[in-house]
């Protein structure tokens, strides 16, 4: 399939803890697919492996096992000198623009840096492109000669986005690009990302913990828990009919800004377990309001619920509305 | 008379810069608010709007170059700004308690959490240690820490973020405060844990009949956990009133655009609602502070806007705000934590 830009199969990433036979199980068998012009939103709590997945599919960290195909090519075991030329097609925008940019470089040079590296452009070509890119991300060209400390967080994030799109990448990974920004600034950045997606038809992986932001920008949403994708569904379904109890809990913890909107209360007890000792069976059973004994032993398989909607929970077959059932219990 | 009554509070940062020129950043200007027992006031605003500074000014936690240059803070019949540091210390931690944003860095890493709870009780009420210890256990139960006998021997680094925040809340409650100030109590916590902590705060405010102030930038928290709200912009409260009035009938253009930028109301494709930057605190414009970012700006905005009453208990600092005649729908379907 030509329009699948990235696919990962059974991706596993474990980090050694320093003790013998003890690992942080950050990513445990994740399958995902990003198509051209599609935004895959990835949502989950801290420690659920969101960022690790982002870094692993770019080969910024090497996967423990599994396969990564980028643009039809298997890049899982590609040596770093072969990966390097591919980097211009896959870019990343990080959460904290203050630490992502070299404080001593001028904004113009920062934006042109990828062009210098990948296309060996001349100084004047670089300057022209940097100016065009700054205009594209609605950044005043006066800033091109300033250093990052002269810019606000929103402006710096625009610089990071300009850097990311400088080489016309086919895949952009956005790791919480708006969570350090104020509400009003966030709106502008999301707007810009949407425009860039429409223009370039690049595939986006949008990582966030904020359901509102995820819903706004994504086409497809993956819900992550302890390194597993527990549910994958089209964006409209997340606020409508999530199947997995964890997705429902996440949704019920989301606070809409309308005070009259009724909250469906499904407050989970406890916190996300340590990824060093993963729970047996279903990873969510320690906090699940509808868990049965069976959940402690058997690992649930991903089941198709409707087109583009998959969930891994053995209890889904027994009734869809888990909140109602949990409140009865 | 309200429990807490702040009027015309002004906090400025006054210092000499590298060229030995006197600079003054007007960080808080004419803050007036009041708070009654059993109610939760939400303070919202963007970064740098002066939310935390308001709390710090009330508690007398300012450090130079920040300085209160005007106004009064009446708490329980006393003006906090005229008290000596010793008198203030007696009130802080006892009658006024604070829960801050980063729970782990607020706990003493070298003291077991049970001892930290006992210490704050001893500092204020004295009395036998055994009484304080019993109280510590009681509070740990109240904030939902499982297995409190064991946990009081735990060190701060052994706690997760949510648990550490619960300890901090327990610590704030040790002396049964009349006012609880929570400065971004759930920033940095996961959403499912955030729901637990906010539910807990709400129950405790009712149970202990405290007045509470929650400082946050999350409009969703205010919408569902607060009774009243004050919206801040560039060191001023620009709109205040009950949550329903302000959220459903926002009168100030800035509040309206802030609400319109929340993800669920945002409509990608239309132009962003708030453009530009907040004003420079060193050089505030005359008149309305949000004039540069406001779509409704006219000549009259060059003069200082008055607080206009929109409805009973709902006011906005804008020349163009109009009184609202229709009654706002009450929070009928509101679910209480």
**Candidate from A18-22, B24-28, B89-93 with smallest mean pLDDT:** A18-22
ipTM attached to this prediction: 0.77
- Residue B326: band (very low, low, confident or very high) from pLDDT cuts 50, 70, 90: low
Residue B333 banded pLDDT, cuts 50, 70, 90: very low
Q: Collect all residues with Cβ–Cβ distance below 8 Å to B212 and sequence separation of at least 6.
A: B39, B40, B41, B179, B180, B181, B182, B201, B205
Partner residue opposite A271 with nearest CB, options B160, B199, B219: B160
Q: Is the pLDDT of residue B335 over 50?
A: no
Question: What pLDDT is attached to residue A189?
Answer: 87
- Is the predicted pLDDT of residue B159 greater than 90, yes or no? no
Q: Which residues of A touch B (CB under 8 A)?
A: 45-46, 152-153, 182-184, 186-188, 190-191, 194, 209-213, 215-217, 249-250, 252-263, 265, 267-269, 271-272
| pLDDT (0 to 100) of residue B189 | 76
Query: Smallest Cα–Cα separation from B276: which of A89, A138, A267, A328?
Result: A138
Q: Please state, rounded to an integer, the average pLDDT across all residues of chain A.
A: 87
Q: Which residue has the higher pLDDT, A100 or B160?
A: A100
Q: Which residues of A touch B247 (CB under 8 A)?
A: 257-259
pTM over 0.80: yes
The label of the residue with tokens 């930057």 reads B277
Q: Cβ of B283 under 8 Å from any chain A Cβ?
A: no
Residue of B nearest to A210 (CA): B191
Q: Note whether B64 and B30 are within 8 A (CB).
A: no
Which pLDDT score, from 0 to 100, does residue B270 have?
63
Nearest to B190 among A46, A153, A254 (CB): A46
Q: Please tell me the predicted confidence (pLDDT) of residue A22.
A: 85
Copy the structure tokens of residue B223: 């919408």
For A269, counting Cβ atoms within 10 Å of its Cβ (0-12 exposed, 13-18 middle, 19+ buried), the class is exposed
Tell me how close the Cα of A186 comes to any Cα of chain B, in angstroms: 8
Whether pLDDT at A329 is above 50: no
Mutate to test the interface with B, among A183, A185, A204 (most CBs of B within 10 A): A183
Rounded average pLDDT over A129-148: 90
Interface test with B, best of A187, A195, A264 (most B CBs within 10 A): A187
Q: Where are the domains of chain B?
A: 4-95+177-317, 106-176
pLDDT at B334: 40
Q: Does B323 touch chain A (CB under 8 A)?
A: no
CA distance, residue A263 to nearest chain B CA (Å): 6
What's the burial of A104, exposed, middle or buried (CB within 10 Å: 0-12/13-18/19+)? exposed
Buried b (16+ CB within 10 A) or exposed e, A51-77: bbbbbbbbbebebbebebbbbeeebbe
In this prediction, residue A1 carries a pLDDT of: 47
| Among candidates A211, A217, A258 on the partner chain, residue whose Cβ is nearest the Cβ of B223 | A258
Task: Look at B247 and A209 and tell me if their CB atoms are within 8 Å.
Answer: no
Nearest CA in chain B to A287: B192
Residue-wise DSSP of A11-71: EEEEEE-SSTT-EEEEEEEEEEEEETT-EEEEE--TTSSHHHHHHHHTTSS--SEEEEEET
Report pLDDT for A324.
56
What confidence score (pLDDT) does residue A91 get?
A: 93
* Tokens found for residue A288: 């699940």
Distance, CA of B132 to CA of B117 (rounded, Å): 8
CATH code of the region B4-95+177-317: 3.40.50.300
Asked if pLDDT for residue B336 goes beyond 50, the answer is no
Shortest Cα distance, chain A CAs vs residue B101, angstroms: 15
User: Mean pLDDT across chain B, nearest whole number?
Assistant: 86
Who wins on pLDDT, A183 or A108? A108
Residue A77 to chain B, least CA–CA distance (Å):
35
Average pLDDT over residues A177-183: 83
**Whether A215 and B244 lie within 8 Å, measured CB to CB:** no
């Amino acid at each position: 399939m030509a329009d699948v830009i990235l696919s990962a199969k059974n991706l596993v990433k474990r980090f050694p803890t320093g003790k013998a036979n003890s690992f942080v199980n950050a990513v445990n068998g994740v399958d995902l697919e990003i198509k051209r012009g599609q935004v895959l939103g990835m949502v989950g709590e801290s420690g659920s492996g969101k960022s690790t997945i982002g870094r692993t599919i770019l080969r910024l960290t090497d996967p423990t096992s599994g396969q990564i195909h980028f643009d039809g090519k298997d890049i899982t075991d590609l040596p770093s000198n072969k990966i390097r030329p591919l980097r211009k097609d896959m870019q990343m925008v990080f959460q904290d623009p203050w630490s992502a940019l070299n404080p001593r470089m001028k904004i113009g040079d920062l934006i042109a840096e990828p062009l210098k590296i990948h296309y060996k452009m001349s100084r004047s070509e670089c300057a022209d492109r940097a100016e065009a890119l700054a205009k594209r991300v609605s950044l005043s060209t006066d800033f091109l000669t300033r250093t990052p400390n002269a810019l606000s967080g929103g402006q710096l994030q625009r610089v990071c986005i300009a850097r990311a799109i400088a080489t016309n990448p086919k895949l952009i990974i956005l790791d919480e690009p708006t969570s350090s920004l104020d509400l009003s600034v966030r709106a502008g950045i999301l707007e810009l990302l949407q425009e860039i997606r429409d223009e370039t038809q690049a595939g986006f992986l949008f990582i966030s913990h904020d359901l509102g932001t995820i819903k706004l920008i994504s086409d497809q949403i993956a819900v992550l828990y302890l390194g597993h994708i527990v549910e994958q569904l089209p964006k409209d379904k997340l606020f409508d009919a999530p199947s997995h109890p964890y997705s429902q809990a996440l949704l019920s913890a989301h606070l809409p800004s309308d005070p009259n909107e009724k909250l469906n209360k499904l407050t989970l007890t406890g916190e996300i377990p340590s990824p060093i000792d993963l729970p047996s069976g279903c990873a969510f059973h320690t906090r699940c309001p509808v868990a049965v004994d069976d959940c402690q032993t058997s690992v649930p398989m991903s089941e198709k619920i409707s087109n583009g909607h998959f969930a891994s929970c053995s209890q889904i077959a027994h009734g869809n509305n888990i909140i109602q059932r949990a409140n009865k219990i | 008379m309200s429990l807490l009554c702040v009027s015309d509070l002004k906090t400025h940062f006054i210092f000499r810069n590298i060229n030995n020129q006197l600079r003054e950043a007007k960080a808080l200007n004419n803050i007036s608010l009041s708070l009654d027992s059993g109610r939760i006031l939400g303070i919202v605003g963007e970064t740098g709007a002066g939310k935390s500074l308001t709390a710090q000014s009330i508690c007398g936690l300012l450090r130079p170059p920040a300085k209160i240059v005007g106004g009064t803070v009446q708490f329980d019949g006393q003006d906090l700004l005229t008290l000596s540091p010793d008198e203030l210390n007696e009130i802080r931690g006892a009658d006024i308690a604070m829960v801050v944003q980063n729970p782990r860095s607020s706990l003493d890493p070298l003291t077991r959490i049970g001892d930290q709870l006992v210490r704050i009780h001893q500092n204020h009420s004295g009395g036998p240690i055994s009484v304080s210890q019993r109280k510590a256990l009681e509070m740990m139960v109240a904030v939902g820490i499982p297995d409190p006998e064991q946990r009081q021997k735990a060190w701060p680094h052994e706690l997760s973020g949510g648990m550490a925040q619960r300890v901090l809340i327990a610590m704030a409650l040790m002396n049964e405060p009349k006012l609880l100030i929570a400065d971004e109590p759930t920033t940095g916590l996961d959403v499912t844990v955030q729901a637990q902590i906010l539910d807990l705060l709400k129950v405790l405010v009712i149970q202990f009949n405290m007045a509470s102030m929650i400082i946050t930038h999350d409009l969703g928290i205010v919408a569902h956990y607060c009774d009243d709200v004050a919206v801040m912009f560039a060191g001023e409260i620009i709109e205040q009133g009950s949550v329903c009035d302000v959220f459903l009938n926002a009168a100030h253009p800035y509040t309206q655009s802030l609400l319109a930028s929340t993800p669920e109301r945002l409509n990608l494709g239309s132009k962003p609602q708030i453009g530009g930057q907040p004003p420079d605190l060193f050089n505030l414009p005359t008149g309305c502070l949000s004039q540069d970012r406001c779509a409704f700006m006219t000549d009259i905005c060059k003069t200082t806007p008055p607080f206009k009453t929109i409805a009973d208990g709902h006011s906005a600092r804008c020349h163009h705000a109009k009184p609202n005649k229709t009654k706002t729908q009450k929070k009928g379907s509101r679910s209480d934590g």
